[in-house]
Amino acid sequence: MKKLKDQFNLIVNADHWDPFAVLGPHPQKSASKESLIIRAFLPDAEEASVIPPDQPGLSIMNMKRIHPEGIFEAEFKDAKEVFPYMIEIKTRGGETRAFHDPYSFPAILTDFDLHLFNEGTHFEIYEKFGAHTKIINGVKGVSFAVWAPNAGSICVTGDFNNWDGRRHPMRGRGVSGVWELFIPGITTGEKYKFRVKSKRGDYIEHKADPYAFYFEERPRSASIVHNINRYKWNDDEWISERTKKNWLDTPISTYEVHLGSWRRHTEENNRFLTYRELAASLIPYVKDMGYTHIELLPVMEHPLDESWGYQVIGYFAPTSRFGTPEDFMYFVDQCHLNGIGVILDWVPAHFPKDPHGLASFDGTSLYEHEDPRKREQMDWGTLIFNYGRNEVSNFLISNALFWLKKYHIDGLRVDAVASMIYLDYSRGPGEWIPNIYGGNENLEAIAFIKRFNEVVHQYNPGVLTIAEESTAWPMVSKPTYVGGLGFSLKWDLGWMHDILSYIVKDPLFRKFHHNELTFRILYAFTENFVLVLSHDEVVHGKGSMLDKMSGDLWQRFANLRLLYGLMYGQPGKKLLFMGGEIGQWREWAVSQSLDWHLLQYEPHKKLQRYIKDMNQLYKNETALYEADFDHRGFEWIDFRDWEHSIISFIRRGKNRDDLLVLIFNFTPVPHSGYRLGVPENGFYREIINSDSDIYWGSNMGNSGGLQAEKKNCHGMPYSVNLVIPPLSVIILKPQHS
């Protein structure tokens, strides 16, 4: 009896790792009799009784208090087997209620589930972990499961038990490190957390569910039981077509968006637009502007607005700032119905230290590294995932697959890849540990990235994975079977750095930095690049895109059109951060709307039209996208005219007769009679001129086009005699009969 009393004390102190060993039904067998003992921990009960099913030999039995903190027991003599029952209690306040006993239900997860998870190959573990509405033995309720191998005990807390950390202790599933419990009688909408207590008892924390599908809106932090399988999708045709598409030879022009600051209801206390309001306003805008994709800064649940979403707490939950999971599904669905792909920024590189999050989840370094030389990302004050742990890798890969399957996402842009693959990223001597070969490569992170890409592409043909990788790591966007990391695309951050360094200079001095303009082509075909002008370049004192430009007002807009023209003209897919298309003057601010009022002014309105026209031109001209990653799709005409800061080149499609001639003038000096070599005879139509007055230019040009002459120039048999406007891009297309 002393041993049993010790177990009772463990129960009332929330220290028992297997409460089912004490609570619930327990058959008793001896040589002389059989009986069934039912125990329950009911700290708020004055009286309690067991209500058995209506069958002969069974009747309602009062329970006896056997521990002063509220453990009750009833014995059914001569009961030969466990039967379903309910418990009825009368509280000290006089309330009477009846409920099914959570400790009368069987285990939820199978041994095979646990094996696959511990092995790191349970790619739909989100269907098992977290909170799920279920019917078990005919009873409705919610199953909970969480991984915390070093916890001494875990209890589910919520409104349903007055957040009492003793009421619903979970069952530990042995060496798997998994804890589970089915709580009957609760349903969707219930707020909950896991009360985690370490084995030594020196750590107690209420943790949000790592696999939760929905959260309270910040600053509150409880997880919410939610069934995400109720939405009826309408995008079957889009998904079917996506699986057949090769995006590498398809136009990709992406509008990068932060949902919380694209537009706000300033007249309603500056509130956010909801997912459904964004569907009604953002999607038509993106479609009208001609973009093919929207890329969203992280929408996963995060506590701090100022992190822009990059410090994630709820990896499986779209943020409740803008609505429910179904509302976000509706947003994605509407994108697809309007022919727009959706890319999410995904953050497997690090996570925040918030006490209710993943940090020290079971009182130990569980998701993160223990060693401080591998544990913390110093630049951001966050923690680094331990990719070598199977269960952590499983958590992340299943999360990637979750967004693709449950939310029909078309691509994942992986944030901060460089910080993952280098052990010495932002660390000085003595602050990092070399790998087993003495190098600075994070072998576990590299293996994780390769596995992530393999699994994503295996299960989701037509889906993109995109790396934000800022170093010269080789073959980032090449398949793993040839030694690459396996991404579909890679952001060209080198180009972004070089071209912005160049374009901010006074045109008078650009000729001395001509290499910044031309250097990219030396490496342009080593990766599947995306040319980006992203959110990172319009914050932290860097100025907006327009504000970076030099010169007077006219020259600033001309320079910006020229910069955008170069992005659309060079090989690679395209990305522009919101606000860049309207000539935002101030830096991006996460707490306020873009300055849409600027569109009442002519230069801003015409810049917006320029981006719209460039998107349409880009999608219409196969020469601008079909051979982005093949050197045969690009040919210099002249990159040597540094004295005038003029460059010119040819873009070709897969059919080499499908070509365009592009000329860029990076000074405010116009040129008449500028002879340029072209590859064939005929009439060259001027299909874009950034200096047109419809774009707020000076309206210089070539009267719609010009005839080639049989005069050798730039090593070509024909040439044209051009007028090149100041600070302009001109695109010519030969007219084939």
List Cβ neighbours of 458 (8 Å cut-off, separation of 6 or more): none
Options 2.60.40.10, 2.60.40.650, 3.30.70.260, 2.40.50.140; CATH for 111-224 is: 2.60.40.10
Interatomic CA distance for residues 262 and 278, integer angstroms: 9
Tokens representing residue 640 in the block: 């040597």
Specify whether the CB–CB gap between 171 and 180 falls below 8 A: yes
> Strand order in 71-77's β-sheet?
24-29, 34-41, 71-77, 64-67
Options 3.20.20.10, 2.60.40.10, 2.60.40.1120, 2.10.109.10; CATH for 2-104 is: 2.60.40.10
- Please provide the distance, in angstroms rounded to a whole number, between the alpha carbons at the two ends of the chain: 100
Domains 111-224 and 630-734 share a fold: yes
The residue ranges of every structural domain in the chain are 2-104, 111-224, 239-623, 630-734
Q: What single letter denotes the amino acid at residue 305?
A: D
For the domain 630-734, what is the CATH code? 2.60.40.1180
Interatomic CA distance for residues 141 and 326, integer angstroms: 21
Interatomic CA distance for residues 152 and 150, integer angstroms: 7
Q: Which helix (H) or strand (E) holds 238?
A: helix 236-244
pLDDT score, position 562: 98
Q: Is 556 helix (H, G, I), strand (E, B) or coil?
A: helix
Tokens representing residue 69 in the block: 């903190």
pLDDT score, position 30: 74
Tokens representing residue 90 in the block: 């009368």
Interatomic CA distance for residues 296 and 300, integer angstroms: 10
Interatomic CA distance for residues 610 and 289, integer angstroms: 10
pLDDT score, position 563: 98
In 3D space, the residue among 536, 416, 531 whose CA is nearest the CA of residue 468 turns out to be 416
Averaged over successive runs of 10 residues, the pLDDT of the chain (737 residues) comes to 79 92 90 86 94 84 94 89 92 90 96 97 97 96 97 96 94 96 97 95 94 96 97 97 94 98 93 97 98 98 95 97 98 98 98 96 96 92 96 98 98 97 94 95 97 97 96 96 97 96 95 95 97 96 95 97 98 98 96 97 98 98 97 97 97 93 98 96 97 97 95 96 98 88
Interatomic CA distance for residues 146 and 228, integer angstroms: 19
Q: How much of the chain is in helix, strand and coil states, percent to nearest 5?
A: 30, 30, 45
Q: Which helix (H) or strand (E) holds 605?
A: helix 602-620
pLDDT score, position 737: 59
User: DSSP states of 99-132 as a string?
Assistant: EE-GGGS--SS-HHHHHHHHHT--TTGGGTSEEE
The strand ranges marked E within 462-584 are 464-467, 489-491, 529-533, 573-577
Known catalytic residues?
A: 415, 468
Fold observed for domain 239-623: TIM Barrel (3.20.20)
CA distances from 402 to 108, 121, 347, 488, 632 (A): 21, 14, 14, 19, 38
pLDDT score, position 1: 45
SS3 string of 669-729? CCEEEEEEEECCCCEEEEEEECCCHHHCCCCCCCCCEEECECCCECCECEEEEEEECCCEE
Q: What is the pTM of this model?
A: 0.95
Specify whether the CB–CB gap between 733 and 682 falls below 8 A: no
Specify whether the CB–CB gap between 238 and 292 falls below 8 A: no
